[in-house]
Structure 1
Amino acid sequence: MDSPAPTSQTLRPGLLLSAMFLAVTLPACGASAEAPQDAAAEQPGATPEGDGDAEESAAGEDSSDAEGSADGEEPEAEPEAEPAELPGGGDTLFPDRRFLAAYGAPGIPALGVLGEGTPQEAAERVKFYAEQYQEHSEEPVQPAFEIITSIAITEPGVDGNYTNALDPELIEPWVDLAAEEDIYVVLDLQPGHASFLDQAQQYEEFLAQPHVGLALDPEWRLSEGQRHMEQIGSVSAEEINQVSDWLAELTREHELPQKMLVLHQFKHSMISDREDIDTSHEELALLLHADGHGTPGMKTETYETLQQDLSEDIWLGWKNFYDEDSPTFTSEQTFQVEPKPWFVSYQ
C-alpha cells in the first residue's frame, strides 16, 4: 500500500518551503499549459513556423537587455541619514547655548518642580523660565529637564543599595515629550551603594538618544557602612572616569552629538582627587553643578570655592532652590553671578 501523501504538518522545514514556492508558481504554470497551441504543433515531429526566428529574437532581446544593464547608469544610492543634532541644532553643547532646567522626579513634588505636574506642564514651565533668562543672555537659552531617575532612600530597598532606580517606563514619556518639544534631558543618579556606572547602564536606551545627557550626584553615593542623611556621600575620580569612558563610547557608537555629563557638588570632599578627572573625551561636555543653598552670600561663597583648582575644561552650573534659598535668585541675579553659569536648574 502506498504511503499517504505528506501534509503540511508532517513536512520537514525544507520541504515545506518548497511546497510554498510551488503554491506560488503553480498558477503561472497552469495558465501556460492551458493556452491554445498552433495546429502544426499537434503533429508529431512538426515544428511550428517561426519558432526559430522567435528563439533568435528572444536571444537577441536577452543580449540587448544584458548590455543595457551593463552599460546603463548605476542605480542611485539611497541618501544618507542626516546626522543627529542637539535640541536647538548643532552637535556641540558649549559655548553655543546656555541651559535652564527644571529639576525633580516624576510624580514626586517634594523632590523638585519637575515633579509637580505632567510632562506637558513641566515643558510649558521650563520654556517660560527659559524666556525669562533669555532676556539676560547673548547665547540662546535651551530649556531642559533634569530628571532624578534613581532616588536615594533611607531603607535598603529591594537590592539593599539604599536607592530606588525608577522603571524606564516611567521615564519614557518624559524623554519622548522632550524630544517632541525640543527640550534637552539630563538623567540624574543617586545610587546609594550601587555604582554610578551600573545605574547609568540601566538607562542606556535613553542615553543613546541625542537629546539626553547624564548627571552624577555624589551626595548620595555611599561608601560601605554609610547611610543617607547621616553623612554626605562622595565619589572618586576613578569612578567618574569609568562612567565617562562608557558614555563617550556610547556616543561614538551611535554617532550622537556631544553629550553632557554633570557632576553635582557643594563640598570639596564630595569628589576626591578631582584633579584626576579625565576631561579628554571630545564626545562629552563635563559640567560642575554648584548645589549650594542658603543666603546669596552663602551661595556665592560655595560657587567661588568650588572653582578653586577646577580644570579649565569643565563648565560651570548653578542651582536655585525655592525652599532652601532665602531669597531665591531671579533670572537677572543668577546671570549676574561671575562667571555666568552655563547651566541653571530650579529645585
Structure 2
Amino acid sequence: MAGCADDGDGAAGGRPTPTAPSVSEPASPPPDDAPSPSATPSPTPSPTLPGGGTTILPEHRLVGFAGGRSPAFGRLTPDGLDAAAEQIDAVAAGYDGDGRTVLPVFELITVIAHDSPAADGLYRTHEPDDVIAAYLDAARRHGALLLLNVQPGRAGFLDEVTRLEPWLTEPDVGLALDPEWAVGPNEVPGNVYGSTTGAELDSVAAYLSALVAEHDLPEKVMVFHQVHASVVVDEAALRPHPGVVTVKSVDGIGSRADKERTWTTLMGTKPPHVAAGFKLFFDEDAERGPLMTPAEVLALLPTPDYVLYE
C-alpha cells in the first residue's frame, strides 16, 4: 500500500492512504455468509506448535509473510503459497544466528475492511472457511503458524475474533489485529486512521487465554500492528494472560531512518510483557531506500521477536 513521509509522530509511512482505501478490497469480494460446513483443515496435529513444543519465546523467532486473495495484501497469494513458503525459509536464514529457531508464519488477511458498508453496514467482509482451510493446509505442509489477521471496520475486535473460534482452537492458529482499520460509527476505513484501546486488546487476549486453558493448547500468538502513536490508546491496560504471547508489531512504510524513528517512538509505550515485532514492505520500503537487511532489523532495540514482510 502506498504510504506517506514520516510525520514525526510515530509513523514511518502512513497506512492507509486516505485517497486510496480500495487497496484493501479483495480481487473478488468474498461472501459474508456463514462458513461452508465442508470447509475443514487437514487432520488436526498433536497439540503442539509446528516442530514440537508448546512455548513460543524465547526459543523461537517468528518470521513470515502477509497476504490474501488480493495481490495487494502481499506475496502470500492463494496460488503461490508453496513458493512463498520457500521464500520465507530463504529470508528466515538471516534471522537464526542468535541461537533461536525460526518459526515460519503465514499471516492471512481474514477479516477485510472496506470503504463500502457491506450488507450489515459494518464496512468489512469475511473470508470463507475454504480459503482459511487452504492457507492452514499450506502452513502445515511447511511447518508454519497461521495467523488470522482481523481488520474489523466498524465491528468490534472481540466480535470478529469469537467468530473465528473453530479455527482458534487449532494448535497452530493465532491472531493478528489491525487497529488502523478499526473505525468509529461515523468513519470509513481508509479515510482515517482507526484505533483501539489497551482494554479492547486485553479482552481479546483474555478470550484466547481461556481457549488455551479449555482445550489444552500450546501458546497462542496475538499480534497487534501499530502504524502510528494514535492507533493504540492506553496500552498499559493490556495485561499478561497465561498461554498468550502478545506481540506489538511496528508497521509503516519508509526508509530505514524513518522506520527506525517510528520504532523508537512506538516501542516507548510497549508494556514490558509484550514482545516486539517489526514489519517490512518489499516494494514500498525499497522505493524509499534499500530494504532493511536482517542484520539491520536485528540491531533494533529491543530485538524483534516477530518479523513480517508484505
Aligned pair count reads 263
Larger-Rg structure: 1
Distance 2:248 2:149 in 1: 13
Mapping 1:279-294, distance limit 5 Å: 279=240, 281-294=241-254
Contact 1:163 1:192 in 2 (8 A): yes
Higher mean Cα deviation, 319-328 or 115-124? 115-124
Tell me which amino acid in the other structure corresponds to 1:215.
A
Tell me which amino acid in the other structure corresponds to 1:160.
G
Distance 1:110 1:177 in 2: 20
1:300 and 2:243 are equivalent in the alignment: no
1:108 and 2:96 are equivalent in the alignment: no
Aligned-pair distance for 1:170?
1.0
How big is each residue's C-alpha offset from its partner over 1:110-153, in whole Å with a ceiling of 9 and x where there is no partner? 1111127332222222222222333x332111111011101111
Distance 2:302 2:158 in 1: 31
Mapping 1:159-238, distance limit 5 Å: 159-238=120-199
Contact 1:292 1:303 in 2 (8 A): no
Contact 2:78 2:135 in 1 (8 A): no
Distance 1:190 1:175 in 2: 19
1:123 and 2:97 are equivalent in the alignment: no
How big is each residue's C-alpha offset from its partner over 1:12-48, in whole Å with a ceiling of 9 and x where there is no partner? xxxxxxxxxxxxxxxxxxxxxxxxxxxxxxxxxxxxx
Distance 1:229 1:209 in 2: 32
Aligned-pair distance for 1:89?
2.0
Unaligned runs of 5+ in 1: 1-81
How big is each residue's C-alpha offset from its partner over 1:268-315, in whole Å with a ceiling of 9 and x where there is no partner? 211111111122x11101110000320111100111111113211000
Tell me which amino acid in the other structure corresponds to 1:103.
A
TM-score of the two chains, using structure 1 as the length reference: 0.72
Tell me which amino acid in the other structure corresponds to 1:123.
A
Aligned-pair distance for 1:202?
2.0
Distance 2:152 2:256 in 1: 30
Q: Which has the higher contact order (CA 8 A, sep 6+)?
A: 2
Distance 2:194 2:225 in 1: 11
Q: 1:312 aligns with which of 253, 263, 272?
A: 272
Q: 1:89 aligns with which of 45, 48, 52?
A: 52
Secondary structure of the structure 2 residue equivalent to 1:245:
helix
Tell me which amino acid in the other structure corresponds to 1:263.
F
Secondary structure of the structure 1 residue equivalent to 2:77:
helix
Aligned-pair distance for 1:343?
0.3
Secondary structure of the structure 1 residue equivalent to 2:249:
strand
Residue matched to 2:205 = 244
Secondary structure of the structure 1 residue equivalent to 2:143:
coil
**When you count helix as a share of all residues, which structure comes out higher?**
1
How big is each residue's C-alpha offset from its partner over 1:220-278, in whole Å with a ceiling of 9 and x where there is no partner? 00111011222100012222122112111111111001101111112221111111112
Distance 1:137 1:151 in 2: 36
Give percent identity, aligned residues only: 34
Distance 1:166 1:153 in 2: 13
Residue matched to 1:49 = none
Distance 1:322 1:118 in 2: 16
Residue matched to 2:292 = 329
How big is each residue's C-alpha offset from its partner over 1:147-198, in whole Å with a ceiling of 9 and x where there is no partner? 1101111111122111111111111011122123211111110010111111
Contact 1:294 1:324 in 2 (8 A): yes
Distance 2:225 2:142 in 1: 26
Distance 2:234 2:306 in 1: 24
TM-score of the two chains, using structure 2 as the length reference: 0.81
Contact 1:168 1:203 in 2 (8 A): no
Unaligned runs of 5+ in 2: 1-44
1:268 and 2:229 are equivalent in the alignment: yes
Secondary structure of the structure 2 residue equivalent to 1:92:
coil
Secondary structure of the structure 2 residue equivalent to 1:118:
helix
Secondary structure of the structure 1 residue equivalent to 2:284:
coil
Tell me which amino acid in the other structure corresponds to 1:253.
E
Distance 2:198 2:284 in 1: 29
Tell me which amino acid in the other structure corresponds to 1:252.
A
How big is each residue's C-alpha offset from its partner over 1:49-101, in whole Å with a ceiling of 9 and x where there is no partner? xxxxxxxxxxxxxxxxxxxxxxxxxxxxxxxxx96211122111111110111
